[in-house]
Amino acid sequence: MASYEVKLLGTLLSPFVIRAKIALNLKSVEHEFMEVGIFAKKSDLFLKSNPVHKKMPILIHGDRPICESLIIVQYIDKVWASGPVILPSDPYDRAIARFWAAYLDDKWFRRIRAIILSQGEEAKKAALEDGIHGLVLLEEAFTKCSKGEKFFGGDKIGYLDIALGCFLVWVRVIEIMANVSLIDESTTPQLFKWAQDFCVDDAVKDVLPETDKLMEFVQFNYVAKLKSRL
């Protein structure tokens, strides 16, 4: 068996692992994908590689681990600099892409998750409103970032495409489970179109999990585990 110089540890049920995987695909980096369940007992390699957070994804390059999905994406962009550019090269565009990516992780995904995780209708309704408000902000950001092209990153998938796109199947699952509409043609027409283009991109299409598979995981495992921790 070939021993790869690059390994990615995690599962594609995790949106954060999806980010790293898409970045590797964009740059055509040969790598070994080492499947690790979200709630599975972690291997010694895993724990040794991310002793602080004990979280996926972990990229191992040679014998050096890199953790945290957006840091991994930036690392891949810098190391395999000859491939397509992931971060915008203009400093201001780069700052704006980083701003929205941080917003997704610090605020938006928590609110989206809360649509199915919160206790009580009031809390769920508030989470839904916040989640949709965030998408409206991102719709506006799309106009500025894409400059008339298909993606936030222009004519090719870039940093913010990866940062948001990794959540698309999660969004779909939450839409079905909570019987709500998040990304739709009337409220966020540009994101609606963007999502379609993103999902069929060569670097993405085999990475995103099937909706049914993710739904099963979320319904029977994720929600129960997380609620027990609340």
Query: 111-133: string of b/e by CB count within 10 Å (b at 16+)?
Result: bbbbbbbbeeeeebeebbebbbe
Span near a second copy by CB under 8 A; candidates 73-81, 116-124, 149-157, 216-224: 73-81
Within 8 A by CB and 6+ apart from 39, the residues are: 221, 225
78 or 213: CB nearest a second copy: 78
CA pair distance 12, 44, nearest whole angstrom: 20
Q: How far is CA 200 from CA 2, 24, 127, 152, 196, in A?
A: 30, 17, 29, 15, 7
Tokens linked to 38: 């979200």
* CB of 199 vs a second copy, minimal distance in Å: 26
Residue 103 is a binding residue for a second copy (CB under 8 A): yes
103 or 192: CB nearest a second copy: 103
At 35 the three-state DSSP class reads strand
Residue 22 is a binding residue for a second copy (CB under 8 A): no
Residues 30-69 that bind a second copy (CB under 8 A): 52, 61, 64, 66-68
Residue 99 is a binding residue for a second copy (CB under 8 A): yes
Residue type, 48: K
β strands within 36-140, DSSP E? 58-61, 64-67
* CB of 69 vs a second copy, minimal distance in Å: 11
In the list 47, 102, 123, 136, the residue contacting a second copy (rule: CB under 8 A) is 102
In the list 55, 98, 124, 156, the residue contacting a second copy (rule: CB under 8 A) is 98
Contact string 189-208 vs a second copy (x = CB under 8 A): --------------------
Span near a second copy by CB under 8 A; candidates 17-25, 75-83, 147-155, 221-229: 75-83
Of 126, 113, 122, 128, residue with least CA distance to 223: 113
* CB of 58 vs a second copy, minimal distance in Å: 11
